[in-house]
Amino acid sequence: MLVQVVGCSHHGASIALRERLAFTAEQAREALDRWRRVFPRVESVLLSTCNRVELYSAADQENEPTFEQVAAYLARFHGLEPAEVVRHLYRHSDEAAVRHLFTVTSSLDSMVLGEPQIFAQVKQAYQLATQQDNTGPLMHAVFQTALRVARRVANETAIHQRRVSAASVAVADFARQVFERFDDKEVLVIGAGEMAQETLEYLEDEGARRITVVNRSFDRAVELAGRWKGRAVAWEDLPQALAAADVVISTAAAGRWIVDRQQFVQIEARRFARPLFILDLAVPRDFDPAIGDRPDVYLYSIDDLQEACQRNRVYRDKELPAALHIIDQETARFMAGMYHRAIGPVIEQLRLGWQAPKEEELQRLLNKLSHLDDHAKDEIRHSFDRLVNKLLHPPLMSLRDESSNGIPRGLLDALARLFQLKRRE
């Protein structure tokens, strides 16, 4: 059996190309169904995320699809010419493919090292392929092992313990220092920038539910609030919204402070000394930095987040060698098991092939020595077994030794011819 992966990622393909090759969940189902009709004897899993599109396949040597066939399949599914995409695709096979999957699933190949989303994405891709009847023994083995390896990396290293995106740092490293829970907090979003929306995603994961949006365009505020099942407030009502808020995410970037120290002091009187976490993500800043000196106010700018992100990246980089060591260990273990399974049928045929003549000769001898008692006959049987085992030992040891570095096809072919074995993949 051979396993391979053909695809592209953020390492060598532009976002424009990745968008053209990407699969929605419904398209992935259709693509897997088509693949099974074209390559009925080839197992497959299709992984499509914002940073990569990869088709994993497994087949015996006779049915293994070529790089060109997979490239053409991916391209033509989206109405593209293979020549447009083939130079942007990579192919890994056998050990390199297994190592690649383990590395991807453990988030060591991600744009943001250690990001948690890829584990769930790999798991979903594998489950979808299984539901579509595209997986088989090898895909089950390699993907289940990949998920286990990713959990091991997460448990035995700190690669996932330091956030490295500004939004995740804002919530995990800063907001969490102020509040233990967010389900009872009023979250105010000022503006409708992408960073604000990403931060809201992390806050929602932490339990935030009460969300208010203020924007200069009220229609835009209504749109964003609807997305988060929150409420929109007119720009003129910003002071009242600030007085009620516990968490503020601001991305207005008005070119000047939308709240200065003096204005905040007037709002502060209506807050009754409640803690206020302000995340000013705007450039230029929306809040007067002097507001951060007020009692019970925790004000952070984008520079504060970037500094924390950089510290976390350095910390994660130190953990990378330990994580890669786990990948090396698990890849070697998996490949040894795969190679052993590949030579298993040959070993079985060798043993069975020698068993029949041994029994014939043993029975012929015992018939001539019918006067022997049972103990003597048992000794003769054990002698025959030991002789066969000793004669089989050299070829079996050669097989095991050679298979530690790959499937020894030359040796398998020689043994098959020498002992007249039927080859099975």
pLDDT of 106-154, one tens digit each? Answer: 989 987 777 777 899 999 999 999 999 999 989 999 999 999 999 999 9
Q: How far apart are CA 143 and CA 287, in angstroms?
A: 49
Q: How far apart are CA 132 and CA 36, in angstroms?
A: 9
Q: Where in the chain is the domain with CATH 3.40.50.720?
A: 166-309
Active site residue 50: yes
Residue 425: per-residue pLDDT = 45
Q: How far apart are CA 123 and CA 144, in angstroms?
A: 9
Examine the pLDDT at 37 and tell me if it is beyond 50.
Answer: yes
- For residues 87-106, b (16+ Cβ closer than 10 Å) or e, as one string? ebbbebbbbebbbbbbbbbb
Pick the catalytic residue from 15, 38, 50, 234: 50
Q: Cβ(308)–Cβ(199) under 8 Å?
A: no
Instruction: Report the 3 state secondary structure along 340-388.
Output: HHHHHHHHHHHHHHHHHHHHHHHHHHHHHCCCCCHHHHHHHHHHHHHHH
Q: Which residue has the tokens 């019918």?
A: 370
Give the architecture (CATH level 2) of 2-156.
2-Layer Sandwich (3.30)
Global confidence as pTM: 0.63
What value does the mean pLDDT take over residues 272-296? 90
What value does the mean pLDDT take over residues 184-200? 84
Q: Where in the chain is the domain with CATH 3.30.460.30?
A: 2-156
Strand blocks (E) in 145-257:
186-190, 210-214, 231-233, 247-250
**Confidence band (pLDDT; 50, 70, 90) for 381?**
confident
Number of residues that make up the chain: 425
- Long-range residue pairs from 130-136, CB within 8 A, at least 24 positions apart, any chain: 132/29, 132/32, 132/33, 132/36, 133/36, 134/32, 134/35, 134/36, 134/43, 134/44, 134/45, 135/43, 135/44, 135/45, 136/43, 136/58
Q: CB 162: neighbour CB atoms within 10 A?
A: 21
**Confidence band (pLDDT; 50, 70, 90) for 310?**
confident
What value does the mean pLDDT take over residues 246-275? 89
Query: Who has greater pLDDT, 159 or 412?
Result: 159
Query: Who has greater pLDDT, 235 or 253?
Result: 235
Fold type of domain 166-309? Rossmann fold (3.40.50)
Beta-bridge partner residues of 190: 214, 250
Examine the pLDDT at 91 and tell me if it is beyond 90.
Answer: yes
